[in-house]
Amino acid sequence: MKSKVQRKKLQSMQRWILVLALLVLVLLIPARALAGPPSPLIPASEGAAEIAKLFYLVLAMALVVFVLVEGLLVYAIFRYRRREDGDEQPEQIHGNATLEIMWTIVPAIIMAVLFVLTLRTLQAMRNAPRDSYQIAVEGHQWFWIFRYGDTGVTTQNVLHLPADRPVEFTITSKDVIHSFWVPQLGGKMDAIPGHVNTTWFVPDKPGTYAGECAEFCGLQHYAMLFDVVVEPQDTFDAWIFHEIELSKQTICPGEEPCKNVPDVATVPEGNAANGQALYDSKGCKSCHSLDGSPLVGPTFRGFSQRAAGRTLGESAQQYVAHSILRPCDFLAPGFPNCVMPQTFGSTLHAQELSDLIAFLMQQ
């Protein structure tokens, strides 16, 4: 008889140990995610450091409350549990004015302190210094376009920043709501169509950081990643100067969309392999699949056959050039809105256009 009771006790203890182990595991998952880059808890800008400090403050307060409340709860459970012999009712208590006032006032004070500290940090992140470098951020389904001051330079899914200099971002969207976020640097500002939000930070360590979209914006939301390359000012200057020179040699610099589509007979011979690399790097693949699956835009599978008969008087190659440089002149069946960026004329060179045409004519 006795051994049966003991076995039961042992079983229930084992069950508790299992539950505890699972709980620890579940708690370890976020801890693991926050331990390495791109965690906001490994800040690389002053603003991000401020946010991390706030997080640790909230965590410390929550820990104190958690330990206190759970400690009292566990103590009460064990101290006043029902014993084996005798099942007499414990003393019943109703209300305690002092306690109730305390657990109303103490949380109110904690909330007020957090509110003031948060407001201060938010305010500081809103007002950029006057000499900030200006970058315009545009969210698209599902990629980012970055424009650098008045240089006319644009990049897609890669953001270059000078180190140790305040950068102000003006953030908007061309379709649905996205959210611009570089966990280690700051940001996390909504990109809203028809509205401009601003934020700023000073990246203080050169390096490459991961950026992402922090607002669910459709099926490819998870793929809306970008790299942030923080470089010393002179490296950044050299990069932007090189880009300015390059952008002057694009097919139609500064025009969105291209005014005149060049005659493909006059452009150089294309290389399909280079074209495939451009398909990967210029953001084409985020909207046009190669395997027939529909994304934001029509698939490229079977493209060469469709292209041949698309417009009267244009060869397939000419049609491809036309739809890359002036995408909104055509609407493919089943895709009633033109959402393709019209920036390719000012980011592609003649050789790159030919390479893309060569690649697409193989699909």
**Judged by CB under 6 A, how many residues of this single chain contact ligand CUA?**
9
- C-beta of 142: minimal distance to ligand CUA in Å? 6
- C-beta of 183: minimal distance to ligand CUA in Å? 14
Burial class (CB within 10 angstroms; exposed 0-12, middle 13-18, buried 19+) of 34: middle
DSSP state letter for 303: H
Among residue numbers 4 through 43, which ones bind ligand CUA (CB under 6 A)? none
Please tell me the distance from the alpha carbon of residue 169 to that of residue 146, in angstroms, as a whole number. Answer: 9
Helix (H) or strand (E) holding 224: none
- C-beta of 288: minimal distance to ligand CUA in Å? 18
Region for residue 245 given its phi and psi (left: phi exceeds 0; alpha: psi -120 to 50; beta: otherwise): alpha
Residues sharing a CB contact under 8 Å with residue 179, sequence separation 6 or more, in sequence order: 139, 188, 189, 190, 191, 213, 214, 215
144 versus 303: smaller Cβ distance to ligand CUA: 144
221 versus 306: smaller Cβ distance to ligand CUA: 221
224 versus 340: smaller Cβ distance to ligand CUA: 224
- C-beta of 341: minimal distance to ligand CUA in Å? 15
Burial class (CB within 10 angstroms; exposed 0-12, middle 13-18, buried 19+) of 357: buried
- C-beta of 214: minimal distance to ligand CUA in Å? 7
- C-beta of 24: minimal distance to ligand CUA in Å? 32
142 versus 200: smaller Cβ distance to ligand CUA: 142
80 versus 216: smaller Cβ distance to ligand CUA: 216
DSSP state letter for 362: T
* Residue 200: CB atoms within 10 Å: 24
Among residue numbers 118 through 157, which ones bind ligand CUA (CB under 6 A)? 139, 142
121 versus 197: smaller Cβ distance to ligand CUA: 197
165 versus 174: smaller Cβ distance to ligand CUA: 174
* Residue 36: CB atoms within 10 Å: 9
Please tell me the distance from the alpha carbon of residue 211 to that of residue 171, in angstroms, as a whole number. Answer: 14
CB 155 within 8 A of CB 192: no
x/- letters, 210..239, toward ligand CUA (CB under 6 A): ---x-xxx---x--x---------------
163 versus 224: smaller Cβ distance to ligand CUA: 224
Please tell me the distance from the alpha carbon of residue 341 to that of residue 255, in angstroms, as a whole number. Answer: 12
Cα atoms in the 13 Å half-sphere on the side-chain side of 284: 23
Among residue numbers 165 through 194, which ones bind ligand CUA (CB under 6 A)? 178
Q: Report in angstroms the alpha-carbon separations of 230 from 51, 65, 141, 310.
A: 20, 40, 25, 44
138 versus 243: smaller Cβ distance to ligand CUA: 138
- C-beta of 171: minimal distance to ligand CUA in Å? 12
Binding window for ligand CUA (CB under 6 A); candidates: 20-28, 208-216, 247-255, 321-329: 208-216
Question: What token pair was written down for 87?
Answer: 């099942």
Question: What token pair was written down for 237?
Answer: 């200057």
142 versus 319: smaller Cβ distance to ligand CUA: 142
Amino acid (1-letter code) at residue 242 = H
The rounded radius of gyration (Å) of the Cα atoms in the chain is 29
Give which of 138, 159, 135, 194 is closest to 342, Cα–Cα.
138
x/- letters, 42..61, toward ligand CUA (CB under 6 A): --------------------
- C-beta of 173: minimal distance to ligand CUA in Å? 8
Binding site for ligand CUA (CB under 6 A): 139, 142, 178, 213, 215-217, 221, 224
